């Protein structure tokens, strides 16, 4: 797997672990991340079947050029320990824990990961979907980064946020935007990946396109998905455009010139360009290169 700092996470597809057909099909999809779901998408009476399906799927096949994530049930539920048994057997790239809301949750997670002998290479993702998490997010993320394993990614659960708070989620998420922007601000401050929530009406492609475009402008790193038809537009929106790549290459090339190597600011194509623009350009080019490499390996 690539350096995780440059992993493309444009499209993260939820797949119910009860649906064996979907788990087989997702191997052929162009999504960057597969989130195998043991939580919301699985009825209580189907949890054990879902866990067996996951163990069989991971032992029987690989998921090339995709980051694999298992979403477990939340801390304190009757399924939590059994789900972590499955994680220890499947060895996914990451485990996604829902409804993480306090520093104590990270202590319990670290204990569970150690108890179940889950590999140190398994990354920790958490859902941000409760009022408690939103209210204390900076401290929560700081605690996660000091935990073992270290917090790697935040996934916004917009449906649960709307459900718990009663806030109307429509109208371009207008009433949710202050909270969503704060999640992004905290993620950027601490240098962790942050993925946007799902678009529920998969039959409304224009609505999805609009929300994906909004997500990009808000600086999310990618979007969580519930249907294969959402993969292509998500990848398109969260990939650097040709013009952005060309501009970034121009900036990198200009600063690499002998006369500019010690410069803090240069003039390029009639514009003032600073070192901070070089850092942004290098980040964009790293993402672009990772996307191109992954695309070539998938062929």
Task: Judge whether residue 296 has pLDDT over 90.
Answer: no
In a shared domain, residues 85 and 221: yes
> Token match 């492609």: residue?
205
Q: In this structure, what CATH number is given to the domain that contains residue 89?
A: 3.20.20.60
If asked whether residues 139 and 37 sit together in one domain, one would say yes
Domain ranges, residue 285:
242-298
Number of domains present in the structure of the chain: 2
Would you say residue 261 has pLDDT above 90? no
Helix 177-190 / helix 137-145 crossing angle, nearest 10 deg: 30
- For every residue of 157-195, DSSP letters joined together read -HHHHHHHH-----TTTTTTHHHHHHHHHHHHHHT-EEE
When pLDDT is averaged across residues 247-270 and rounded to a whole number, the result is 92
Question: Could you read off the pLDDT of 67-95 as tens digits, one per residue?
Answer: 999 999 999 999 999 999 999 999 999 99
pTM check: above 0.85: yes
Q: Which of 193, 213, 238 is the last residue of a domain?
A: 238
Q: Are residues 218 and 248 in the same domain?
A: no
Provide mean pLDDT across the span 262-277.
91
Task: Locate 269 and state its tokens.
Answer: 């194509």
User: Among residues 211, 238, 265, which one ends one of the domains?
Assistant: 238
Note the pLDDT tens digit of each residue in 203-248: 999 999 999 999 999 999 999 999 999 999 999 999 999 999 999 9
Show the tokens assigned to 134.
């939103």
Helix (H) / strand (E) element for 133: namely helix 131-135
226/263 same-domain check = no
CB 108 within 8 A of CB 130: no
Q: How does residue 6 score in pLDDT terms, banded at 50, 70 and 90? A: low
Same domain, 293 and 165: no
Q: From residue 104, how far is each of 75, 139, 287 by CA, in Å?
A: 10, 12, 34
Does 163 share its domain with 214? yes
pLDDT tens digits for range 9-39: 999 999 999 999 999 999 999 999 999 999 9
172 and 286: one domain? no
Phi and psi, residue 202, nearest 5°: -70, -10
- In a 13 Å sphere around the CA of 232, the CA atoms on its Cβ side amount to 3
User: Are 140 and 278 in a shared domain?
Assistant: no
My answer on whether 186 and 277 are in the same domain is: no
Q: Is the domain of 144 the same as that of 289?
A: no
% of the chain at pLDDT higher than 90 = 89
The verdict on 66 and 176 lying in the same domain is yes
Does one domain contain both 126 and 157? yes
* Boundary residue ending a domain (208, 223, 238): 238
Residue 161 has pLDDT above 60, yes or no: yes
């Amino acid at each position: 797997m690539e350096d995780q700092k440059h992993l493309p996470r444009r499209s993260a597809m939820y797949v119910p672990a009860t649906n064996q057909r979907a788990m087989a099909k997702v191997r052929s999809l162009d999504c960057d991340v597969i989130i195998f779901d043991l939580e919301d998408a699985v009825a209580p009476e189907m949890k054990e079947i879902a866990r067996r399906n996951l163990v069989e799927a991971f032992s029987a096949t690989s998921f090339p050029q995709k980051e694999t994530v298992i979403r477990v049930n939340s801390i304190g539920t009757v399924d939590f320990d059994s789900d972590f048994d499955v994680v220890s057997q499947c060895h996914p790239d990451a485990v996604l824990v829902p409804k993480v809301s306090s520093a104590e949750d990270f202590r319990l997670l670290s204990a569970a990961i150690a108890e179940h002998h889950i590999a140190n290479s398994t990354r920790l993702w958490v859902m941000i979907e409760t009022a408690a998490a939103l209210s204390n997010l900076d401290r929560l993320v700081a605690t996660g980064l000091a935990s073992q394993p270290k917090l790697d990614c935040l996934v916004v659960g917009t449906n649960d946020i709307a459900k718990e708070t009663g806030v109307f989620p429509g109208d371009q998420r207008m009433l949710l935007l202050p909270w969503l922007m704060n999640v992004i601000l905290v993620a950027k401050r601490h240098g962790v990946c942050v993925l946007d929530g799902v678009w529920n009406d998969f039959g409304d492609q224009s609505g999805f396109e609009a929300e994906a475009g909004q997500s990009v402008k808000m600086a999310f790193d990618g979007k969580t998905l519930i249907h294969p038809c959402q993969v292509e537009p998500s990848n398109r929106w969260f990939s650097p455009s040709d013009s952005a790549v060309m501009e970034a290459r121009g900036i990198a090339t200009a600063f690499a010139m002998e006369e500019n190597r010690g410069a803090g600011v240069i003039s390029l194509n009639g514009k003032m360009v600073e070192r901070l623009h070089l850092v942004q350009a290098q980040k964009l080019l790293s993402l672009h290169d990772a996307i191109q490499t992954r695309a070539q390996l998938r062929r």
